[in-house]
Structure 1
Amino acid sequence: MKFWDDMKIHDMEQLIFCQDDKSGLRAVIAIHSTKQGPALGGCRFWSYASEADAVRDAMKLAKGMTYKAAISGLPYGGGKAVVWNIPGITDRDAAFEALGRFIDRLHGEYITGVDLGTTTHDMDQIHLHTKYVTDQSGTLGAMGDFTAEMTAYGVFLGIKESMRYKYGSLDLHNTRIVVQGLGKVGYALCRLLHQAGASLFVTDIDTVKTAIAAKEFDATPVSPETIYTQSCDVFAPCALGGVLNHISIPLLTCGIVAGAANNQLADERLADMLEQRNILYAPDFAINAGGIISTGAELSGADAARAQLAVEQIPHTLAAIYSYAKISGITAVAAATKLAEIKFM
């Protein structure tokens, strides 16, 4: 992997490689931008096929966090820490302690928090060595699954706004919605959609999760292999990124794609393919910004109620994006990107 070339492609400010032989820690901290404030973004603990894949993921996610913060009007830039889940990690607690020491050396340029594969307990270990962490015990982010719930809430409101823009109605009763991925955010989204009267179709690579969600939300279980061909009004990707590609997009039968996953488009140019198929795409970094919005609110001293009010700005953000896209004759992705870049560049 040509790290310098990739940093240039993604406009990265810094890549910090971290290792600790005692615990087996292998991690990278990607800082995309600090122009508007400290780089804010969670810490991911995940298995990757190679170290290059881990670094690329960190950079893409960090860049996405900058755009999330910018489009949401937050005084932060974007960053992401990725801990490579490999057999060499002999002591998980010690590994996250070591990561905390690395983060502290950045003197506040990067603030971390819970992300895919990490927990409040992991953040507690980081917090032993730095104050530049969120979601540790005693914080709002550690209260239940508050961050995930706020992300899901923002996506739920974003789906309603997308329905209003596309079909002229906020009513989700009997709307056919596919939810792909039943992690904390996807599951919470299903709960909100079910309460709103939507007719759900659910899938996850974990068949047990699929069965549980189908029972709780009176949903139709669908296999991961056939999920893209499921007839629906809204397709909500809530798993890993890159699911919208040259193979999957032609299979979609929906009118709207609006979900919680990061980097849903395998290539941003695929937004044109969605547009050509008359599918409204809610830019992921705008609709799934509930987590960073609620974290930013907490860092400013807000309580849960005020954090939720901040998340409720997401429909207004999407409305502005859709309006700008229509006026400018460009895709919603291009419109969201331009609006975000105005704020942080």
Structure 2
Amino acid sequence: MTLAIERPVGVFGRKDLPDDWAHEQVTYFQDPETGLRAIVAIHDTTLGPALGGTRFYPYEDESVALTDVLRLSQGMTYKSAVAGLPLGGGKAVILGDPATMKTQALLEAYGRFVQTLGGRYITAGDVGTNSDDLDVIGRVTEHVVGRNVAAGGSGDSAPMTALGVFQAMRAGARAVWGVPSLAGRTVGVEGVGKVGYQLIDLLIADGASVVAGDVNSSALERVVHDFRGVRTTGSIIDLDVDIYAPCAMGAILTGGAVVDIRAKLICGAANNQLAHPAVERQLADRGITWVPDYVANGGGIIQVAGERESAAMDQVRARVEKIFDTTVEVLDTAKREGMLAGAAADTVAEARISSSRARRTSPCTR
């Protein structure tokens, strides 16, 4: 979703979130013994239980954490809907630095918190959490996906998330240059953690040149060691590249940043990439095509949704690869109807949710 970042407090009456589609439930939890402070936001459960990852991050303060979880959970509603999944939207944040605070006791306390929600929220991995953490959380709640295979899960979702972004990028290349291939294109990947790293591998295999950027020097060193020929830098957004792939934190696309972007296509794994809805219009006015983030980065949730139904990984992979078709549909609709891609994607998602809500309230279904 393309929502503005502000610094309000509380949940109600926020200018940065639509008044006509409020969150169903926002729950706080703390455990003084472990230092756990967590927030779970359930945005919508029309299509099914709310599923979304747990972000463990050293937020500046509680207000910033709340804004992030509200925006992310709403984005998950749209992500699941546009992917055609029987899931609603939710998200969780744990406040603190995982490098210094993460312990098994804290994760178990968090798992007990998730369990109290009775299955309305299902957690998975996100920034600051991984499959090992989910194994620990899974000791005390069954409402968790993305655990290691040995623990009964489907493993790290980063490869499938990267595959989805790659397919969306191919569809974007088709829209911009007429060919669904990245061969000969220069792609700037901003953020080379779990997903960005996997994306680089796919880009190189397709014949693209890659420039990698990250504030974490260790992440860049890993890329240099593992991928010959990849250039590295501190920042990507203003480089002379064909495609810009934001794969770190959200709100990277600001009104001020737009004037410096030289890429013709933006497609990445980061959530909530637009700092404000008007930014997409600014991009379009400069001839830059933006693939809506929740369309491109749906591979991870497709994987964990498959885990819930015990789907084989080849089935999951085939579903993730269909992100190419979904992206083509969104971009073609936007061009045909003279609308922005974000509005076209929202239309697809909202239609699916509205249809399900209508079926649930129809007298014939009571």
**Is 1:129 equivalent to 2:140 in the alignment?**
yes
Contact persistence 1:14–1:31 (CA under 8 A): yes
Q: Which amino acid aligns with 1:56?
A: T
- Change in CA separation of 1:126 and 1:212 when aligned onto 2, cut-off 3 Å: closer
Q: Which amino acid aligns with 2:315?
A: R
State the Cα distance separating 1:269 from its structure 2 match: 1.9
**Is 1:234 equivalent to 2:243 in the alignment?**
yes
Q: Which amino acid aligns with 1:12?
A: H
**Is 1:257 equivalent to 2:266 in the alignment?**
yes
State the Cα distance separating 1:151 from its structure 2 match: 0.3
Contact persistence 2:56–2:97 (CA under 8 A): no
Q: 1:51 aligns with which of 42, 46, 62?
A: 62
Contact persistence 1:180–1:238 (CA under 8 A): yes
TM-score, length basis structure 2: 0.89
Q: Distance in 2 between matches of 1:254 and 1:90?
A: 39
Q: 2:90 aligns with which of 67, 76, 79?
A: 79
Contact persistence 1:237–1:258 (CA under 8 A): yes
SS in 2 for 1:42: strand
Structure 2 match to 1:107:
118
Structure 1 match to 2:209:
199
Structure 2 match to 1:338:
347
Contact persistence 1:200–1:217 (CA under 8 A): no
State the Cα distance separating 1:195 from its structure 2 match: 1.0
Structure 1 match to 2:253:
244
Contact persistence 1:140–1:298 (CA under 8 A): no
Structure 2 match to 1:283:
292
SS in 1 for 2:68: helix
Q: Distance in 2 between matches of 1:212 and 1:114?
A: 22
**Is 1:60 equivalent to 2:60 in the alignment?**
no
- Change in CA separation of 1:82 and 1:279 when aligned onto 2, cut-off 3 Å: same
Q: 2:25 aligns with which of 14, 33, 40?
A: 14
Structure 2 match to 1:173:
183
TM-score, length basis structure 1: 0.94
Structure 1 match to 2:158:
148
Q: Structure 2: state its 5+ residue gaps.
A: 1-8, 355-366
CA RMSD of aligned residues (A): 1.8
Structure 2 match to 1:5:
13
Please give the per-residue CA displacement for 1:157-211, whole angstroms capped at 9, x wherever unaligned: 1111111121111232221111111001001000110111101111110223224
Q: 1:97 aligns with which of 105, 108, 124?
A: 108
SS in 2 for 1:36: coil
Q: Distance in 1 between matches of 2:80 and 2:286?
A: 30
Q: Which amino acid aligns with 1:262?
A: N
- Change in CA separation of 1:214 and 1:124 when aligned onto 2, cut-off 3 Å: closer
Q: Distance in 1 between matches of 2:138 and 2:145?
A: 8
Q: Distance in 1 between matches of 2:86 and 2:241?
A: 38
Q: 2:280 aligns with which of 271, 274, 294?
A: 271
State the Cα distance separating 1:289 from its structure 2 match: 0.4
Q: Which amino acid aligns with 2:341?
A: A
Number of residue-to-residue matches in the alignment: 340
Contact persistence 1:23–1:91 (CA under 8 A): no
Q: Structure 1: state its 5+ residue gaps.
A: none
SS in 1 for 2:41: strand
Contact persistence 1:42–1:114 (CA under 8 A): yes
State the Cα distance separating 1:91 from its structure 2 match: 6.8
Contact persistence 1:19–1:25 (CA under 8 A): yes
Q: Distance in 2 between matches of 1:22 and 1:139?
A: 27
Moved more, 76-85 or 210-219: 210-219
Contact persistence 1:297–1:310 (CA under 8 A): no
